[in-house]
Amino acid sequence: MIYGCARPRRIVEGKLILGVRAGATRAVTRGRPGKQMKSKKNPFRGLWLALVLLAPLVRATAAPPAPTADYEFALIEFRAGAFEQARATLEEALRISPRNAAAQMLLARCYYELRDYKAAVAHAQAAVKAEPDNAQDHLWLGRMLGREADQEHSATLALKTRKEFKKAVSLDPRNVEARRALMEYDLQAPWILGGSKAKAREQAESISRLNRVEGLLAQARLAEADENTRQADSDYQAVMQAKPRRVGPYFEAAEFYVAQQNKAGLEQAIDGATSVAGNDPRLNFYRGVEEVLAGRLPATAERNLENYLAQRSFPNSFPSRAEAMSWLGRLYERTGKTQLAIRQYLAALQLDPDCSLAQEALQRLGINP
């Protein structure tokens, strides 16, 4: 499975993994069914990246029993997106207290955001060793193993990913995040790596019993995997009508509507997200994309996308720089600025050689990068 434009969430036409065709297909826009495009690299990429949409920016479990000043300061840095500074602060703190599980996991999260997945896994394993019954830490270790599996194209690491998700669910059966991560894995992985739509449906049913909105999101994903876009649309509409008080569900809906090029649905998702998190920087991205799809207000679309690109950091759960550059390129292409468009597409591919949006655009323009 391939992910186009580095971010946790886009799978296109299944590729052969260990001789077995990967499972569900997803669109070139962050893991949603729609127009599909083939890419040449990273057969594990979409599976793990799809999980990141579910991941909050900060650690959901409690701080350590007796947090140090360094830990608290690093947490402030982390929340501000200063991942390198937080990493340095935590490295120093762990020299004094190496068995501090919360500090180990926060450091793992720093490396995860810095895209050093091998180091992230090492520190997450240290956290799990110190607190083996912490479900959230097993969940995060699974996410990090998944990213490393993607990077190394490793079936062994992929199987370890599922093991950690399953462990998280067994430790905390009411943990919706853990169940959703396990569901996404089972939905997308080929059978040889433990994937199964039947097992994914079981998790979706369990999620529905725990939380109505999260259950609707899970059911929408199952509908997408079955290429039942009408049912997926109905599920996302129900999510937005429920008016959840966190922004994640609206952005999941936005992903779907971008892939379907459904401007009205995307506008609804943007309005919902604005109502609960009006300052979220991702809104610049989605507003820019909506304006490009609508073919209106090119100056406003350009400003929104450029504002998004100007931000300080791009957590793994955010649209990537490469993706934003590709949408800016599409805007330039549609407004007759072909050379500017080509520059954006080429810059996107420099950041992410697997970015399907840029690959497709350059192919359309007859450019061989």
Q: Tens of pLDDT along 85-138?
A: 999 999 999 998 889 999 999 999 999 999 999 999 999 999 999 999 999 999
**Mean pLDDT to the nearest integer, 312-338:** 94
Q: How far is CA 282 from the centre of its chain?
A: 13
Tens digit of each residue's pLDDT (9 = 90 or more) over 307-322: 999 998 899 989 999 9
- Top-confidence residue, 3 or 57: 57
**CA separation for the pair 34, 44 (Å, rounded):** 20
Backbone angles phi, psi at 35, to 5 degrees: -65, 135
Tens digit of each residue's pLDDT (9 = 90 or more) over 340-362: 999 999 999 999 998 999 999 99
**Mean pLDDT to the nearest integer, 184-196:** 95
Contacts (Cβ under 8 Å, ≥6 apart) of 43: 1, 2, 15, 16, 17, 22, 153
Statement: residue 325 has pLDDT above 80: yes
Percent of the chain exceeding pLDDT 70 equals 82
**CA separation for the pair 5, 13 (Å, rounded):** 15
**CA separation for the pair 349, 160 (Å, rounded):** 30
Statement: residue 139 has pLDDT above 90: yes
Statement: residue 15 has pLDDT above 70: no
Beta bridge partners of 163: none
Structure tokens given for 17: 């993994």
Q: Which domains does the chain have, with CATH numbers?
A: 281-369 (1.25.40)
**CA separation for the pair 108, 127 (Å, rounded):** 9
The pLDDT confidence band at residue 55, using thresholds 50, 70 and 90, is low
Question: Other CB atoms closer than 10 Å to residue 367's CB: what's the count?
Answer: 13
What pLDDT is recorded for position 279? 95
Structure tokens given for 155: 């079936």
- Comparing C-alpha atoms, which of 127, 124, 153, 155 is closest to residue 141? 124
Are 344 and 365 within 8 A, CB to CB?
Answer: no
pTM: 0.81
Statement: residue 230 has pLDDT above 70: yes
CB burial class (10 A; 0-12, 13-18, 19+) of residue 27? buried
Statement: residue 235 has pLDDT above 50: yes
What pLDDT is recorded for position 4? 31
Helical H segments across the chain, by residue range: 45-52, 69-79, 83-96, 101-113, 117-130, 135-152, 155-171, 176-188, 197-210, 212-225, 229-241, 248-259, 263-276, 282-294, 298-309, 321-334, 338-351, 356-364
Helical H segments across 260-320, by residue range: 263-276, 282-294, 298-309
**CA separation for the pair 344, 322 (Å, rounded):** 9
Structure tokens given for 301: 């679309």
